[in-house]
Amino acid sequence: MATKSRGYSAEDIEILEDLSPILMRPGMYTDPVNPNHALVEVIDNASDEGLAGFAKHVTVVLYEDGSASVEDDGRGIPVDIHPKKKVPAVQVIFTTLHSGGKFRKTDKDAVYRIAGGLHGVGICVTNALARRLEVEVKREGEREVKREGDRREGEREKERERDAENAEGR
């Protein structure tokens, strides 16, 4: 029987930042078996612009390959530099847990007084678990596109290797 180390110190404490907690424990943030939950988060965010009186149309398109697009004619996600993170606000929203403009719903000057898309974690969960995500923001006459690569490629490569091994073993 192996002897266990009894040492336990601050060095043993991990801090998961950015999208790491979502990637390590997706079930804490969404239903990983049902990808529709991630899509509903995007649809809710678009709908919130309508509920706030800033959008008249929300369009959802489902594609044959399983991907989807969601578009609204609202104000657009802020793209100016976030004062604390020092990166564009759109990047903060899509890469930082618990970020967004919906937490102060009771303030008289709140951006969103009514919000359906506040599930506590935000759209960064959708981003973290997506095979590919593209955000196009049209705001104040400008257009900004943000593309996220395929973070899960290594995971899918392992799945392909297992499938090949299983096929050979038949």
Banded model confidence at residue 106, pLDDT cuts 50, 70, 90: low
**Measured between alpha carbons, how far is 142 from 169 in angstroms, rounded to an integer?**
55
- Three-class SS state of 107: coil
Which region among 21-35, 70-84, 120-134, 156-170 has the lowest average model confidence (pLDDT)? 156-170
Question: Lowest-pLDDT range, 1-5, 84-88, 140-144?
Answer: 1-5
Distance CA(78)–CA(139), nearest Å, equals: 8
Given this model, what pLDDT does residue 57 score?
96
Q: What is the pTM of this model?
A: 0.72
- What pLDDT score was predicted for residue 105? 61
Q: What percent of the chain has pLDDT over 90?
A: 18
pLDDT band at 165 (very low <50, low <70, confident <90, very high): low
Q: Which pLDDT score is estimated for 68?
A: 92
- Say how far apart CA 122 and CA 33 lie, in whole Å: 18
* All structural domains of the chain: 18-168 (3.30.565.10)
Q: Which residue has the higher pLDDT, 13 or 119?
A: 13
SS3 84: coil
In this prediction, residue 69 carries a pLDDT of 93
CA angle in degrees (0–180, nearest 5) for 108-29-55: 40
Do 127 and 133 form a contact (C-beta atoms < 8 A)? yes
Among residues 107, 98, 151, the alpha carbon closest in space to that of 129 is found at 151
- Per-residue pLDDT band at 153 (split at 50, 70, 90): low
Provide the pLDDT for residue 122: 76
Which residue stretches of 52-116 are H helix?
89-95
pLDDT over 60 at 159, yes or no: no
- In the three-class reduction of DSSP (H, G, I as helix; E, B as strand; rest coil), residue 61 is classed as strand
Among 119, 77, 112, residue whose Cα is nearest residue 98: 119
Longest Cα separation, the chain? 68
Is the alpha carbon torsion for 20, 23, 29, 35 positive or negative? positive
- State the Cα–Cα distance between residues 97 and 122, nearest whole angstrom: 7
Instruction: Express each pLDDT in 46-94 by its tens digit.
Output: 888 888 888 999 999 999 998 899 999 998 888 999 999 999 998 988 8
